[in-house]
Amino acid sequence: MANEHIIVVDDDETNVNLLKMLLEMDGFQVTACKTIDSAKTEATAETKAFIIDCYLARGASGLDLLETIRSGQTKAARDTIVIMTSGDQRLREKALEKQATLFILKPFSPTTLSQQLTQLIKQGSTNG
């Protein structure tokens, strides 16, 4: 599981840097992005997962990035793990309809996030 590439997308600098630090402590290689455009630029065929906040700056929606990934408009695989996060429970259904792998309601435990991410990556490596 060591060094799996993860992209964290959140416009809140404190959140994105904290998640980056904690996930790196768990052995992930993390790229922190504050915008959809930077996340699309940073995505590669080696990207194992995205963790995306639903609400981004200037009215941007993380759900748009999810659709972009699923439609094959990034260098990441269409079936890359995408974990959507939000403090708004009402977005769970939308995220799952748009094929998010998982929806996590904020606030969440970074330890729980890391464990779920590790589990999803292990499942992916045994399924495909």
Q: 124 pLDDT band (50/70/90 cuts)?
A: confident
Average pLDDT over residues 37-45: 97
Q: What is the reported pLDDT for 102? A: 97
Does residue 125 form part of some domain? Answer: no
Average pLDDT over residues 22-50: 97
Q: Range of 106's domain?
A: 5-119
- In the sheet with 102-105, reading across from the earlier edge strand, the strands are 29-33, 5-9, 47-53, 81-86, 102-105
What CATH number is attached to the domain comprising 73? Answer: 3.40.50.2300
Does residue 128 form part of some domain? Answer: no
Does residue 34 form part of some domain? Answer: yes
